[in-house]
Amino acid sequence: MSKNGVVTATAPGCRWIDVEDPDERTLAKLARTYGFSKQNMEDIISPTQRPKLDVHEDYVFFVFRFPLTSKGKHARTSELDVILTKDSIITFHSSDLHVVRGVLSDTRLFKNRRTSFLGSGPSHVLFELLLILFESVYTVTDELAKHNDAIESEIFSTREQSDKTINRIAQHRRRMLDYIKVAKPQANYLRTCLSNTGDFISPEVRHKWRSLIDAAESQWELFDTSLSVLTGLSDSSDSLTTHRFNQTVRLLTIISVIFLPATFFLNIVSNDTPGAPLQDFEPAFIVVLAVLLSVQLAFIWFLRRRRVL
């Protein structure tokens, strides 16, 4: 059954209700039907920035957050809210988290899958759904690694670091930090869920729950590694920029030093003060030019001997 973004799949002993892009009217109806707290409904409407666990007498309320592949400059994350009872699981999410609706559609479409997926109870559905969602996060980590590779290629293939490269590094760093804020607390949160939910999670699922914690820890390490790589690339970019700037300053300094004696000599011979040298000497231009060239060549030879050039 599908109505107003609500899709339901049922099997003996278990019902899965999925609510996509929930609105206040739908949540109010579910709250009246199942006796959910007003605070939990408000948490669903107003996305939180951290995982959350509320254990009630008749149900458990979970808030999970997952990174999504980015579009444009900003990181994308999505929230999955779950209410788990002894015989039902109700999931709430935005349309961005399309994986959830895809899993439910397959469950409704294929009878064998519906029997195996729902037949083991609501906590089994929660476990399998989280496992699929954690698997989907590896797409995000792969995307970040590709961005790092592109930035590395851009840094070492161009002679000058453009503003575009610097902005790209800054935007990518911000995106990673946003993802890390989501991924870092997940493992401890999953441990908390396992130790505080009592009979709402079956013994069979408890035995397999460790795989979710391992996945969360693995993804946090991947995000952290990607950030470390990006930090190294940023430092390399800064070093190359500094080195190239120093080379430019060095070249300008050498040019200034080479022409300094010539400038000094020209200031002397071009002086209009009475008695200045070469004022009445007809081939003065040729003499001055010869002296300048000689001084320049001598100075260049001196700099090369000192290995400055």
| pLDDT tens by residue, 78-102 | 899 999 998 999 999 998 888 898 8
3-state secondary structure of 69: strand
Check the CA dihedral 137-140-146-151 and report its sign.
negative
Quote the percentage of the chain above a pLDDT of 90.
29
Q: Which helix (H) or strand (E) holds 91?
A: strand 88-93
Strand partners, 80: 64, 93
* Contact criterion met (CB below 8 Å) for 156 and 55: no
* Contact criterion met (CB below 8 Å) for 219 and 138: yes
Contacts of 151 (CB under 8 A, 6+ apart): 165, 168, 169, 172, 230, 233
pLDDT of residue 55: 93
Confidence bin at 280 (pLDDT 50/70/90): low
3-state secondary structure of 12: coil
Residue 24 has pLDDT above 80, yes or no: yes
pLDDT of residue 279: 56
Q: pLDDT tens-digit profile of 157-213?
A: 765 556 677 788 888 888 888 888 889 899 999 999 999 998 899 999 999 999 999
Q: For the chain, which residues make up each domain, given as ranges?
A: 2-243, 250-305
Residue 261 has pLDDT above 80, yes or no: no
Cβ burial of 103 (10 Å; 0-12, 13-18, 19+) is: buried
* Contact criterion met (CB below 8 Å) for 27 and 46: no
Q: pLDDT tens-digit profile of 110-147?
A: 777 777 778 889 999 999 999 999 999 998 889 888 88
Q: Give the closest residue to 187 by CA, choosing from 241, 134, 266.
A: 134
Q: Give the closest residue to 5 by CA, choosing from 93, 65, 77, 74.
A: 93
Confidence bin at 2 (pLDDT 50/70/90): very low
- Cα angle at 63 between 61 and 68, to 5 degrees? 150
Cβ count within 10 A of residue 111: 10
pLDDT of residue 210: 93
Helix axes 210-269, 122-157, angle to 10 degrees: 20
> Does the structural domain 2-243 have CATH classification 3.30.460.20?
yes
Q: Give the closest residue to 303 by CA, choosing from 242, 263, 259.
A: 259
Token duo for residue 304: 């090369």
